[in-house]
Amino acid sequence: MQRNDILTLTIDKISNLGTGIAKFDGEVIFVSGSCPDDVVKAKINKVSKNYAEAETVEVLSPSGHRIQPFCPMQKVCGSCQMQFIDYEYQLELKRQIVQDTMKKIGGLDIEIPKPVPSPKIRNYRYKVQYPVVQKPSGRIIAGYYKPQSHECVNIKYCPIQPQICDEIIEFIREKAPEYDITGYDEKTYGGMLRHVVIRCSEYSEENLVTLVLNSENVSKNIKDFAKAIKNGFDKVSGVCVNFNPKKTNVIFGEKTQCLLGKDYIEEKIIDKIFKIGADTFFQVNPSSAENIFKAVKDEVSRFENPKVLDAYAGIATFGIVVSDYAKEVVSVEENEASISMAKDVLIQNNIKNVKLYAQDTLKYLKSCGRKFDITILDPPRKGCTREVLDETLTHTKTEIIYVSCNPSTLARDLKYLCEKGCKVKNIQPYDMFCHTYHIENVSIISV
């Protein structure tokens, strides 16, 4: 088997990255654009020692779960890897991904239930991050990168986000040249506008637009452009700029400035109103996130006046949601902008029993000198370090609620906690990112 070979393959199962898995002469091949039970012609793109990677070039015999993608850009864009699979089967495949990952990485022989489906499977993504690129012809494009590349696909219509996002992006594409604003060029590090980030509210339908600049200051034409964006859309509540002149793939720089309107939008989760800024963390699918928050709140309600630690808290969403049933909540988040937003939320919702700390989780745990009945962990995709897990065990009396967007790191961390004497009571997946291989999980661990 060599690169560029065309092979006929039968797809046996799905990988944790959403690609089909087939075997040829005993070797494993990961096949993009395929579904279990497909028979496909696939082109080999990469051959490694233990596996090969391929892409589907023709479906010879389709799986019964194949459907027509509702987005015309699905194959080109690549962001919705599983959109050609019917939604019910997507959920089953994600269940299998979690089950296999827990067994292979975590050593956990635990039955994983069907994921809780997203209440919306279209127009569900309420955060948009589009790179902006200047073409040699002078044309500005904005969209998503093709899979495993930095080739930007110009997206004019995306059915997984609110329609107004398409309209705002199109306005920016068309009007930017009128204000002498150029798109970014990764090769020369030139151009002014690197990204457009839109935070949308399902609750208020307001939108916060942030222009990420290849600059350390705001020029008059940027200010005029921001005014045009704000005036052009009734539902744009504010326009911000973020400064990122560094040669990096990171979207946001360290400083954000609001030019017009508000520097936040408001979102409602259960019965609480939250403020979300340009670069503060909040789940992109509010209706699916609400299912997770309800589940965590219900779990906390089983305890009588517990003391709760809300670690990696973001804008303290979990801490605020469970505060109705807690004697005290301590929310710890190292991002000061998020903590500032959370302070406003506490006042707005008249919450008195939540304390906020703008601090790294590990540093807080090492210095707090106290124990909590329940600890809620909601770390980034890389999961927790062993040191954080050790400190969590030291400071938790009864239960850890671990919320994770990455089954692999969750399985790794659960394995470590079990080695320390903990017991995984259950794991429940939630479909936060429809039509992708990503899956959110909530795990309940007794300590």
The residue written with tokens 């948009």 in the block is: 128
Burial class of residue 4 in the structure, from the number of CB atoms within 10 Å of its CB (0-12 exposed, 13-18 middle, 19+ buried): exposed
User: In 3D, which of 383, 415, 398 has the Cα closest to residue 110?
Assistant: 415
- Between the CA of residue 181 and those of 118, 195, 211, 307, what are the distances in Å? 38, 12, 11, 52
Choose among 10, 16, 37, 354: nearest CA to 29: 10
Report helix angle 361-368 to 386-394, nearest 10: 30
Active-site annotation holds for 405 = yes
Whether 40 contacts 24, CB under 8 Å:
no
Burial class (CB in 10 A: 0-12, 13-18, 19+), 109: exposed
| 439 and 431 Cβ atoms separated by less than 8 Å | yes
Phi-psi region of 305 (alpha: psi -120 to 50; beta: other; left: phi over 0): left
Which residue is catalytic, options 35, 200, 405, 434? 405
Residues linked to residue 374 through DSSP beta bridges, in sequence order: 308, 399
Catalytic sites, residue numbers: 405
